[in-house]
Amino acid sequence: MEGGEAHGSSNSLNPGEGVAVSEEIKAQVMESVIGCLKLNDEQKQILSGTTNLAKDFNLDSLDFVDLIMSLEERFSLEISDEDAQKLETVDDICRYIASKSSDA
C-alpha cells in the first residue's frame, strides 16, 4: 500500500474511500478546482483525478480554504477540518462528496 504517514486514528481509510463517483460530481469538482485556483491552460491540461493539489499547483492554506468553502457551497455540505486535511487529490474530494451525498 502506498501511503505516507500513519495517524493515531483507528480508522485509516480516507473519507469516502471505496465510494462510486458520478461523472457529474467529478465535473463539478474539476470546475470548482479550476475556478478557485484560477488554473491556466497548461495547468488545466495536467489536472486529473490523481493530481495532488498542494504539491502540483503549490496550493497554499488560503487557496485550500477557498476551495473547501466553494465545494461546501456548491454541494450544500459541511466539510470538517479533520476531513478537509485528508483531501489531497481531486479523486479524494470526489469520493468524499459522493459519500456525503449518499449519506443524505
> Which sequence positions are flagged as catalytic?
60
Strand partners, 52: 89
Length of the chain: 104
Q: How far is CA 81 from CA 46, 68, 69, in A?
A: 27, 9, 11
Pull the grid cell for residue 100.
456525503
